[in-house]
Amino acid sequence: MRLSILDHGHRRRAKAFFALTSRKSGVASPDIVKLLLYRPGLFARPLLALTADAMRGPSYWTAGEREYLAMSTAKLHECPFCAVTHAELVRIAATGEIDPDDPRSARPELEAVRAFLETVSQDPDRADAAGVAGVPRQAVVEALRVNLVWNVVNRLANAFGFVLREGQLETGTRSLHRFGYRFPGFLVAEGHYTDLGEVAQNLRHSVLHTPGATGQAIRSAALLADELPQPLQAYATTVRDASYKITDADIDELTAAGYSEDAIFEVTAAAAVGAALASYDAGLRAIGE
């Protein structure tokens, strides 16, 4: 973890949860869990609600196929933490319909939507629905929601330097699958929560309006790719466009410029959510939603 607050800054309830689960499993809490339970009101609460539905709710796609799409998105972002995790989740969730090590095992509809999501993620302005013309529209929407989740998480995992420690892959993936990506409500409840009834709106609203170390103008600029003061501008651009390139030196430069770890956390979240929402919105436009 590149931010000490993500290791040690949690509320008492989260620390108690880490201690309990680590004692039961014999393995330290994974970085992704620490991220999601640090100030969950900023983005994690709406993101987790979306994730549980997108990854394990009713869908045209099997759970294994959705994990395959998540793995494919992680590879686009060069996020080894997420790519390895979702490859293992494909093995756990699939029932023979997809092999994470063999792209040829994907049914034609899955391969078509994977290619569509690749364009949506890497070059939203070129999103074209011709390749998914034979896929039910609702199935494409469901795939876009999967992609929205991991376009956020992959960027954050890269920016904050997530690593898999001994035993975490086995225990973490089995827990995620068993609980369907759901966390106890008391762990993610924080402050006032506004449900606007739509996943993208909830994410955008939380990132912009949750109180924090930065004002709404800074977070809005990070989310919308507008101008920010340096070195925040360069950093937010890298989060959006090439999060795998972020290093400890980038975080050190921000702290040296006077930005607190909470400010860095907020700007990173806003940039990641903004880039993911831009891809999601482009995908919906392409299919006429």
In a domain, 9, yes or no: no
Q: Is the pLDDT of residue 261 over 90?
A: yes
The rounded distance, in Å, linking the Cα atoms of 9 and 216 is: 23
Q: Which of 144, 166, 189 is the last residue of a domain?
A: 189
Contact 191, 45 (CB under 8 A): no
Average pLDDT, the chain: 96
In a domain, 167, yes or no: yes
Q: Is the pLDDT of residue 243 over 90?
A: yes
**Residue from 77, 73, 203 nearest 87 by CA:** 73
Instruction: Indicate the pLDDT class of residue 192, thresholds 50, 70 and 90.
Output: confident
Instruction: Indicate the pLDDT class of residue 193, thresholds 50, 70 and 90.
Output: confident
In tens, the pLDDT along 204-231 reads 999 999 999 999 999 999 999 999 999 9
pLDDT of residue 85: 97
Q: How many domains does the chain have?
A: 2
Which residue is it, tokens 């494909």? 90
Instruction: Indicate the pLDDT class of residue 13, thresholds 50, 70 and 90.
Output: very high
Is there a single domain that holds both residue 116 and residue 227?
no
Is there a single domain that holds both residue 239 and residue 181?
no
Is there a single domain that holds both residue 176 and residue 45?
yes
In a domain, 11, yes or no: no
The rounded distance, in Å, linking the Cα atoms of 202 and 136 is: 26
Is there a single domain that holds both residue 174 and residue 206?
no
Domain that holds residue 252: 199-279
Q: Is the pLDDT of residue 44 over 90?
A: yes
Is there a single domain that holds both residue 225 and residue 268?
yes
Is there a single domain that holds both residue 181 and residue 264?
no
In a domain, 2, yes or no: no
Is there a single domain that holds both residue 125 and residue 185?
yes
Is there a single domain that holds both residue 263 and residue 157?
no
The rounded distance, in Å, linking the Cα atoms of 159 and 265 is: 10
User: Which of the 8 DSSP states describes residue 42?
Assistant: T
Between these two residues, 47 and 195, which has the higher pLDDT value?
Answer: 47
Is there a single domain that holds both residue 63 and residue 125?
yes
Across 64-96, b (16+ Cβ under 10 Å) vs e yields bbbbbbbbbbbbbbebbbbbebbbbbbeebbee
Q: What is the largest CA-CA distance in the chain?
A: 53
In a domain, 5, yes or no: no
In tens, the pLDDT along 64-120 reads 999 999 999 999 999 999 999 999 999 999 999 999 999 999 999 999 999 999 999
Q: Which of 144, 162, 189 is the last residue of a domain?
A: 189
The rounded distance, in Å, linking the Cα atoms of 247 and 264 is: 14
In a domain, 244, yes or no: yes
Residue range 263-273: mean pLDDT, rounded: 98
Instruction: Indicate the pLDDT class of residue 188, thresholds 50, 70 and 90.
Output: very high
Q: How far is CA 191 from the centre of its chain?
A: 22
Is there a single domain that holds both residue 255 and residue 167?
no
Is there a single domain that holds both residue 79 and residue 183?
yes
H-helix or E-strand spanning residue 71 = helix 63-76
Q: Give the CATH number of the domain where residue 135 resides.
A: 1.20.1290.10
In a domain, 13, yes or no: no
Is there a single domain that holds both residue 151 and residue 78?
yes
Residue range 224-244: mean pLDDT, rounded: 97
In a domain, 23, yes or no: no
pLDDT of residue 191: 87
Contact 254, 99 (CB under 8 A): no
Q: What is the pTM of this model?
A: 0.96
Sequence-distant (6+) residues with CB within 8 A of 110 are 61, 65, 68, 69, 98
Sequence-distant (6+) residues with CB within 8 A of 239 are 155, 159, 246, 268, 271, 272, 275
Cis, peptide link before residue 100, omega less than 30° from 0:
no
Q: Which of 143, 160, 189 is the last residue of a domain?
A: 189
The rounded distance, in Å, linking the Cα atoms of 65 and 178 is: 17
Residue range 246-250: mean pLDDT, rounded: 97
The rounded distance, in Å, linking the Cα atoms of 167 and 25 is: 9
